[in-house]
Amino acid sequence: MPQVQTVQGPVDTAELGTTLMHEHVFVLSADVQQNHPEEWGSEDDRVADAVAKLTKLAGVGVRTIVDPTVIGLGRYVPRIQRIAEQVDLNIVVATGCYTYDDVPFFFHHRGPALNEALGTEVPDPMVDMFVGDITDGIAGTGVRAGLLKCAIDRQGLTAGVERVMRAVAGAHRATGTPITVHTHPGTRQGLAVQQVLADEGVDPRRVVLGHSGDTTDVDHLSELAEAGFVLGMDRFGINLETTFEARADTVVEMCRRGHAGQMVLSQDASCYIDWLAPGVMDLLPQWHYTHIHEDVLPYLREHGVTDEQITTMLVDVPRRYFEGAR
């Protein structure tokens, strides 16, 4: 029986159930937090708040969340372990690196950056770091990563973005662990992902193109779905540059075109994200863990999406993504 690694150990893919494929527990700027923890406040209070919010999410029937918090987003697995022990929910954590332009300074003078100076091909240490997180566990916790994460945004395929994407592909080839990519569909960055990952021999069925729902360009999305990618319709509730209806209608139209089997639904929500000043969350009243179940699914049903298609997006596609070709 194929299994997925979660914070509390391996789970049969058949047991994943309703799965939200892109939810954070926390998004933190780690070195800012280490030095300016005033807003964060009490660790115990933050953990209790997360337990309450995730318990509410489990209460609407969600069995699993996939948390793509990696280097650059403040991943700290011991805190997630503390929370996972107290909620009846599978939490899958990730390895990888989140950048839109350059690699973190840690990597500037390591690996391929040294090729020219040393006159030889130096392997990228990122690959071994990611593989170690997947096979041995993260930072001595014993918690193993269940997916790989990288990013590309409107800046496009910069040298740093490409280096991380190729390192993620290398770790994928070594382990078979699936990949999620933060993309910017408004500038069609999925096509750049397609080029690099095809060059690296990655099967698009093992790749989520995240934030695909940020666009309403269903022709572009159909092209990526037909290429085999899983499209992350995964920012429900972030309605600053778009609307609830625009996001939902895009899913309706993609279902009508027969692409339910290439989409996953999520919110990219978190219990606490330090990227936003206090009060900004008030502008996003629907950006929380239960928005999909409370608002999106009823709207989809009213607009012709069937229960079978909803189960496909919430249960079957996540399961297939983790299982891979069998």
Binding positions for Zn ion, rule: CB under 5 A = 268
Residue 90 and residue 65 in contact, taking contact as beta carbons nearer than 8 Å: yes
H helices within 155-267, ranges in order? Answer: 159-175, 190-199, 218-226, 244-256
Residue of this chain nearest to Zn ion (CB atom): 268
Looking at the Cβ atoms of 21 and 296, the one nearer to Zn ion is: 21
| Residue (130 or 287) nearer to Zn ion, CB | 287
Taking the least distance from each CB to Zn ion, the nearer of 214 and 268 is 268
Whose Cβ is closer to Zn ion: residue 172's or residue 235's? 235
Q: How far is the CB of 22 from Zn ion (least distance, A)?
A: 6
For 289, residues 6+ apart whose C-beta sits below 8 A from its C-beta are 20, 23, 53, 54, 56, 57, 62, 267, 269
User: Which CB, 268 or 274, lies closer to Zn ion?
Assistant: 268
Closest CA to 68 of 185, 207, 202: 207
Structure tokens at 296: 């999106």
Closest to Zn ion by CB, 67 or 124: 67
C-alpha 293/C-alpha 113 separation (Å) is 46
CB of 310 to Zn ion, least distance (A): 22
To Zn ion, the closest distance from the beta carbon of 123 in angstroms equals 28
By beta-carbon proximity to Zn ion, the closer residue of 153 and 249 is 153
- Cβ proximity to Zn ion, 135 vs 187, nearer residue: 187
Least Å distance, CB 196 to Zn ion, is 20
Instruction: Indicate if the alpha-carbon torsion angle 304, 15, 2, 151 is positive or negative.
Output: positive
* Beta carbon of residue 12, minimum distance to Zn ion (angstroms, whole number): 26
The answer to whether the CB of 16 falls within 8 A of the CB of 320 is no
Q: With residue 300 as reference, give the H or E element that holds it.
A: helix 297-302
Find, among 300, 190, 294, the residue nearest to 256 by Cα.
300
Taking the complex as a whole, the smallest distance from the CB of residue 122 to Zn ion amounts, in Å, to 31
H or E element that contains 52: helix 43-59
| Cβ atoms 184, 215 nearer than 8 A | no
CB of 68 to Zn ion, least distance (A): 6
What residues have CB less than 8 Å from 310, skipping those under 6 apart? 297, 300, 301
Report how far residue 208's alpha carbon sits from residue 264's, in angstroms, rounded to the nearest whole number.
Answer: 8
Axis crossing angle, helix 125-135 with helix 159-175, rounded to the nearest 10: 40
In single-letter form, the type of residue at position 279 comes to G
List residues bridging with 149 in a β-sheet.
96, 180
Tell me the closest approach of the beta carbon of residue 253 to Zn ion, in angstroms: 24
Query: Least distance in Å: CB of 193 to Zn ion?
Result: 16
Q: Give 20's strand partners.
A: 65
- The residue (of 133 and 268) whose beta carbon lies closer to Zn ion is 268
